[in-house]
A and B are shown apart, each in its own frame.
Chain A
Amino acid sequence: MNNIILLPVLIPVMVGILLIFLRSYGRTQAWFSIFTMAATAGISYYLLEKVQSDGIQRLDFGGWAPPFGISFVADSFSLLLVLTASIVTFVCLMYALFSTNKLLQTMYYYPSVLFLIAGVNGSFLTGDLFNLFVCFEVMLLSSYVLLTLGGAKRQLREAIKYVVINIVSSWFFLVALAYLYGSVGTLNMAHLSVRVAEAGQGPLLTTISIVFMIVFSLKAGLLLYFWLPGSYSTPPVVTSALFGALLTKVGIYALFRVFSLIFNQQPEITHAIIGVMAGLTLIGGSIGAIAYNDIRKIAAYNVVIAVGFILVGLAVSTPNAIEGAIYYLIHDMVVKALLFLLVGTVIALTGTAQLHQMSGLMKNYPLLGWSFFITMLSLAGVPPLSGFIGKVLVSEGAIESGAYILLALSLLSSLFVLYSLLRIFKNSFWGETIVGKEDQVPLNSRFLVPCVVLVLLTFGIGLGTEGLSAYVTDAAETLLNPEIYVDAVLEGDRP
């Protein structure tokens, strides 16, 4: 029992409720939420250290021992993601402090962000499948609000699509939960793992697992990503950055958790399907990334490519590949937020999202240009930046298990990522300067600070891989050996 596990969910919710009453004080709200995220990051780091020394932590709500009550379970994998999510949100909120207009700030923007984070952290920490559904819904409802705040025509139109698609996918989630409960009689993840292992994963359970796969793929944007570019490229910059960094990652987390802990008996079916879907996602995302001239669309398709890449790691499921996928997941949260923030800054400066209407920004804003350059290299996986280690390990895993098609696709997709971003770089940063030094829109350094912080973070993760490796190895070990998780939750006395 460790009550602190609840804090990464509880603090954002409580502060979010408090901020509703401070509606008219935009700045105050911003500072409150920034401090909240800093506190959450600190707590999750403390928990991460605690997991390293004392093993997996657990909180049974109301003292009901698992599998009867709802429990929160914190292992290295979930805590790494909670920590990264908190840090990324912290930086995004710093950007929001200066970039969002007054109107948006007083329309419950910050409470919605905090509720979103509560949902995200809850999804990472919960040890109960139905509770995962609830946390998903908390996250989704906040994302609906964030997506529509501002009320531009485009936003409303994309929001309708996004909401309806998510309602249908939530429906599938409930259907899968109902069937699963009907067939094995429990919804606690650790208990499910035991029951499924005892009963053997027959055709019925495999079918149920595929329904779960559809649900999480929709959330993660794995193959079913048709809704993603539209809805991620319409809201205000900070919102896109938060969505790009966090929302798809929750779906990916759920896929990893469910298919390594519960449905791990028939990888030749489930993991093979994930592999095929990941391959197709890489292809589709790559085509999308080079097909558009709207730089926000390009950034959104880059999210899709990353999802494909990370799930190659799950499809292969060797120790190296899983470790690589975790590294890449952390890297991607940081760098996707950075990419969206940079793209948003460029749009704010030039007043257009079209690639061909901007040129020579490098002369006007050198620091912005170099930040973009580093982001590009990091996404392409150039050492010593953070994308490198993940790409190497996933590729190594793909070679070990002989998945050469996936290997080829994932490496080719890196080239497409590089090419799509080089197009932005070449068109908008290089070339003739259209705007003279005198007439340029002044770039407020406060926009740049969050971007530079994230750039430093991608360097930090790249150079400090050694320091991170202990946590990631532990996370991968828990994912690969479900019995560690099960023992920690059910404490040996398996009902």
Chain B
Amino acid sequence: METIIILLVGILTAVAIYLLLSKSLIRVILGTAILSHAVHLLILAMGGLKEGTVPLLGEEAESYVDALPQALILTAIVISFAVTAFILVLAYRAYQELGTDDLDEMRGVNDE
């Protein structure tokens, strides 16, 4: 199970990096969103995956899932949500001001 998840993390990361390296700003932003999903899965896999059990179930429970990675992921999701929201607004504003969403052209726009 862990292996599959790790492979999935790898694929997501590869996709994200491909998007990050593209010229269009909106693709870069999507790239950052996918990047954060990849790492959330990685954290989940690092806590150890067990099928069909719940986080904590009394002291007699035979197997339980480590709850800490889930707490970490929840925090990380909130943060990445805030950052993505911010960068989307930033991208829109930059598009309005600079008149382009192409990162190459943006470099050419000189100071006011």
Contacts and interface: CB of A to CB of B under 8 A. Distances in A.
Contacts of A141: 82-83, 86
Nearest to A162: B90
Size range of the chain A interface in the assembly: 20 to 34
A160 B97 CA distance: 13
Given A163-B87, A174-B39, A157 B20 contact: no
B106 A157 contact: yes
A171 to B, nearest CB: 5
B47 A182 contact: yes
B76 interface: yes
A174 to B, nearest CB: 4
A144 B79 CA distance: 13
Given A134-B75, A174-B76, A175-B42, A156 B20 contact: no
Interface string A93-116: 000000000000000000000000
B107 to A, nearest CB: 8
B95 to A, nearest CB: 9
A167 B39 contact: no
Interface in A132-173: 133-134, 137, 141, 144-145, 148, 151-154, 156-157, 159-160, 163-164, 167-168, 170-171
The secondary-structure label for the interface of chain A is helix
A175 B12 CA distance: 14
Nearest to A164: B28
B86 A157 contact: no
Contacts of B98: 153, 156-157
A167 B83 contact: yes
Interface string B82-95: 11001100110110
A489 B89 CA distance: 42
A177 B43 contact: yes
A163 B45 CA distance: 27
Nearest to B91: A160
Contacts of B109: 153, 157
B97 A174 contact: no
B84 to A, nearest CB: 9
A130 B72 contact: yes
B46 interface: yes
Contact of A178 (B28, B36, B43, B111): B43
A181 B43 CA distance: 8
Contacts of B86: 141, 144-145, 163
A156 B97 contact: yes
A159 to B, nearest CB: 6
A171 B35 CA distance: 7
A156 B25 CA distance: 13
A178 B68 CA distance: 11
A137 B90 contact: no
Contacts of B90: 144, 148, 156, 159-160, 163
Could you say which of B86, B90, B109 has the most chain A C-beta atoms within 10 Å of its C-beta?
Answer: B90
Given A156-B93, A156-B94, A178 B87 contact: no
A179 interface: yes
A179 B45 CA distance: 10
Given A167-B83, A174-B39, A181 B111 contact: no
B32 A178 contact: no
18 contacts: A134-B75, A137-B83, A141-B82, A144-B90, A151-B93, A156-B94, A160-B25, A160-B94, A163-B83, A163-B86, A168-B35, A170-B79, A174-B39, A174-B40, A174-B76, A178-B43, A181-B68, A187-B68
Interface of B: 20, 25, 28, 32, 35-36, 39-40, 42-43, 45-47, 68-69, 72, 75-76, 79, 82-83, 86-87, 90-91, 93-94, 97-98, 103, 106-107, 109, 111-112
Given A171-B35, A171-B39, 14 more contacts: A133-B76, A134-B75, A141-B82, A148-B90, A153-B112, A156-B94, A156-B98, A160-B90, A160-B94, A164-B20, A167-B87, A181-B47, A181-B68, A181-B69
Listed from nearest, the 9 A-B pairs whose CB atoms lie closest are A182-B46, A156-B94, A178-B43, A178-B46, A174-B39, A167-B32, A137-B79, A178-B42, A154-B111
